[in-house]
Chain A
Amino acid sequence: SQQGEEDPQALSIQEGENATMNCSYKTSINNLQWYRQNSGRGLVHLILIRSNEREKHSGRLRVTLDTSKKSSSLLITASRAADTASYFCATDPVDNNNDMRFGAGTRLTVKP
């Protein structure tokens, strides 16, 4: 079963605008990761945030984590056409040593 659920399922913005995607999950986690997938390609790791962290930055990416609400957000600032991709959150549940759980993803389209 999926642990993370991204919202919205699809997002379309103009180049230069900011894009915000959200991820909600159900159980306590050790960490949460965001990945990007370009069409027809494998996933690429973007950023990892641990359960004791509240915010992390990497270039134009900003990730927040609210463990009390069991949610995370990914903000991409000053978006570019090259940011067009699907974005997935993946959670590392505390009570499951076997695997990470991926959401269904947010499909982001950035129009030039």
Chain B
Amino acid sequence: NAGVTQTPKFQVLKTGQSMTLQCAQDMNHNSMYWYRQDPGMGLRLIYYSASEGTTDKGEVPNGYNVSRLNKREFSLRLESAAPSQTSVYFCASSDGRYKETQYFGPGTRLLVL
């Protein structure tokens, strides 16, 4: 099992460009999450999907959109990137009750110039 995979590993964007971060899990988990991690801060939830077909905003959703394509895949889109979105982005998934143990991907480092 690969667990949670994310692509790309690293990306440089110019202000105003758009991009989609991809995430997939092979553990048959119902719930998936997108977080961002900034220096000196813990992870902050951007969006989550408690089950296939549903998405909800987390703590910091502004500037992002998500798509739960199917049970395996959950993508995060930046429509018009801003320097404030420079961060490391983590995707995670969990089974059973929402907010139980989460399994994290390796992260995507995004630099917006």
Which residues of B sit under 8 angstroms from A92, Cβ to Cβ? 99
| Residues in chain B within 8 A of chain A (CB atoms) | 4, 33, 35, 40-45, 48, 56-59, 90, 92, 98-107
Chain A: number of interface residues, binned into ranges = 20 to 34
- Chain A nearest CB from B11 CB (Å) reads 15
| Residues in chain A within 8 A of chain B (CB atoms) | 1-2, 4, 30-31, 33, 35, 40-45, 48, 88, 90, 92, 97-105
Chain A residue with the shortest CB-CB distance to B109: A40
Which residues of B sit under 8 angstroms from A40, Cβ to Cβ? 107
In the complex, A2 Cα to B37 Cα: how many Å? 12
Contact of A33 among B45, B101, B103, B107 (CB under 8 A): B101
Contact B103 A102 (CB under 8 A): no
Which residues of A sit under 8 angstroms from B90, Cβ to Cβ? 42-43
What are the 4 tightest A-B residue pairs by CB atom distance, in nearest-first order?
A: A102-B42, A42-B104, A99-B45, A102-B43
